[in-house]
Structure 1
Amino acid sequence: MTAPTTFRERLYVPWWGWPLPLAAAVLLAAEIHMGFPGVRSWLPYLITVPLTAFLIVRMGSAKVEVTDGELRVGDAHIPVGLLGEVEVFTAQTKRQAMGPNLDPAAYVAHRGWIGPMVRVRVNDPEDPTPYWLFSTRHAEEIAELLR
């Protein structure tokens, strides 16, 4: 029997992040098909536009989850028992955390279109990662869960 999921959030690319890549895919398809009749005229559109949509969804999304006593951010996971101090950053204060105060060894899952971030210290002596810094829309809620 598994423990219930305490928190789950999927960080998708917002609607305003889609038009430019899709327009670029259409332009690329138009460049490829220029002057070719028949199948070669529509095949580039059939390939580039869905491929671009797939890449936006796959590369632009991340999952933040607290379940089974673990914090999962993207593909990484760590037991909640190994976590220490939790700090919340707003859209205005995350600039310092992501800029001059960022440790190069930290695990970072940043999504620029999401304002708040959470920094969680790692208290594992065998782990070289000092902390995790990740974007979330519900920073206060996940901070309370991890405290």
Structure 2
Amino acid sequence: MDEPTPTTFDERLTAPRSWWLIAAALGFGAAMAMLPLGTLAALGGFVVGGALAAIAVSAYGSVRVRIVGGALVAGEARIPVSALGDAEALDAEEARAWRTHRADTRAHMLLRAYIPTAVRVKVTDPEDPTPYLFVSTRHPQELTDALATARDSAQAG
């Protein structure tokens, strides 16, 4: 029986706590909008409005960045580490530059505005027109190190 492939990096890009407070405030706003229709309608507005806002926050914050099975999984993208080149950990200022004026429209970008740091990984596959991947992460150096280790393992194996 095959052993499961170990995950060398796993991060969920969860939304900040303040976004959950905003979701609750949206529920409260829905309740206030429904209040003229009665108390029961206001309660329903609070539950439905708050639930919809919470679902949206949860979905936006459910994206994961992982290195597993010889591939970088960033949201919906799954790229073999053999197709990736050097990775560069970006501080907040550099990440902002690569999100804005330095950005290439062909790049694959997994952006989360509430995460200031990121990693930029060059794509070395000659058949892929994507020049690089831009991945928001709270742990850019750990991701960079894990990518280097996974790429070295793929080349050795």
TM-score (norm 1): 0.90
How many Å separate the matches in 2 of 1:123 and 1:29?
53
How many Å separate the matches in 2 of 1:21 and 1:49?
6
Partner of 1:42: 43
Partner of 1:134: 135
Q: CA deviation at 1:100?
A: 1.4
Q: Any gaps of 5 or more consecutive residues in structure 1?
A: none
Give the secondary structure class of the aligned counterpart of 1:87: strand
Pairs aligned (count): 146
How many Å separate the matches in 2 of 1:59 and 1:23?
18
Same amino acid, percent of matched pairs: 34
How many Å separate the matches in 2 of 1:41 and 1:15?
25
Q: Is the 8 A contact 2:35 2:41 kept in 1?
A: no
* Residue 8 of structure 2, aligned match among 6, 9, 25: 6
Matched ranges for 1:40-79 at <5 A? 40-79=41-80
Partner of 2:103: 102
Partner of 1:18: 20
RMSD of equivalent CA atoms: 1.6
Q: CA deviation at 1:144?
A: 1.3
Q: CA deviation at 1:38?
A: 6.1
Q: Residue type of the partner of 1:54? A: I
Give the secondary structure class of the aligned counterpart of 1:35: helix
How many Å separate the matches in 2 of 1:92 and 1:57?
27
Query: Structure 1's 24 and 38: CA in aligned 2 closer, same or farther, altered over 3 A?
Result: closer
How many Å separate the matches in 2 of 1:27 and 1:38?
14
Q: CA deviation at 1:92?
A: 2.1
How many Å separate the matches in 2 of 1:109 and 1:11?
10
Query: Structure 1's 41 and 24: CA in aligned 2 closer, same or farther, altered over 3 A?
Result: closer
Q: Any gaps of 5 or more consecutive residues in structure 2?
A: 149-157
Query: Structure 1's 41 and 112: CA in aligned 2 closer, same or farther, altered over 3 A?
Result: closer
Q: Which has the higher helix share?
A: 2
How many Å separate the matches in 1 of 2:143 and 2:39?
54
Alignment deviations for residues 47-79 of structure 1 (CA, whole Å, 9 cap, x no partner): 111121111011233201000001001111100
Q: Residue type of the partner of 1:101? A: R
Q: Residue type of the partner of 1:11? A: L
1:111 pairs with 2:112: yes
How many Å separate the matches in 1 of 2:89 and 2:32?
46
